């Protein structure tokens, strides 16, 4: 049996079929994704009221009675910034859960 006869032949000698022609690559940069995520966060100022185990804090938001359960951001952990009760801090809140947040800056 001759296998060359089983292969389809192309008479027009066109280039081979490319999948990219049907599905072009979308250029989505990682920074575009993180920019969208950062726009959704709510940034507020507050005062640390209580220290909890595992680097969690209760933060009272300024100009309101709202108390947020917040943790330290990764950059603050990496730079070993200490937070004590009574410190003024900036907190980022997710719009989906306003009771939890992330401490992003400690004011001097």
pLDDT the model gives residue 40: 82
- CATH architecture observed for domain 41-106: Beta Barrel (2.40)
Domain coordinates in residue numbering, the chain: 41-106
Q: Look at 19-28, 37-46, 51-60 and tell me which has the smallest mean pLDDT.
A: 19-28
Q: Please, which residues bridge with residue 68 across strands?
A: 59
Asked if the model's pLDDT at residue 6 lies above 90, the reply is no
Tell me the pLDDT band of 23, cut-offs 50, 70 and 90: low
Half-sphere exposure of 91 (CA within 13 A, CB side): 29
Q: Which residue has the tokens 């250029």?
A: 27
The rounded Cα 50 to chain-centroid distance in angstroms is 27
Tell me the pLDDT band of 77, cut-offs 50, 70 and 90: very high
């Amino acid at each position: 049996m001759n296998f060359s006869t089983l292969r389809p032949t192309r008479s027009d000698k066109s280039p081979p079929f490319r999948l990219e022609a049907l599905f072009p690559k979308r250029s989505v940069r990682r920074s575009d994704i993180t920019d969208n995520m950062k726009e959704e966060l709510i940034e507020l100022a507050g005062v640390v009221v209580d220290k909890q185990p595992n680097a969690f804090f209760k933060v009272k938001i300024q100009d309101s009675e709202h108390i947020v359960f917040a943790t330290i951001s990764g950059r603050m952990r990496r730079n070993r910034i200490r937070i004590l009760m009574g410190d003024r801090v900036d907190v980022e809140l997710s719009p989906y859960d306003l009771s939890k947040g992330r401490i992003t800056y400690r004011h001097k």
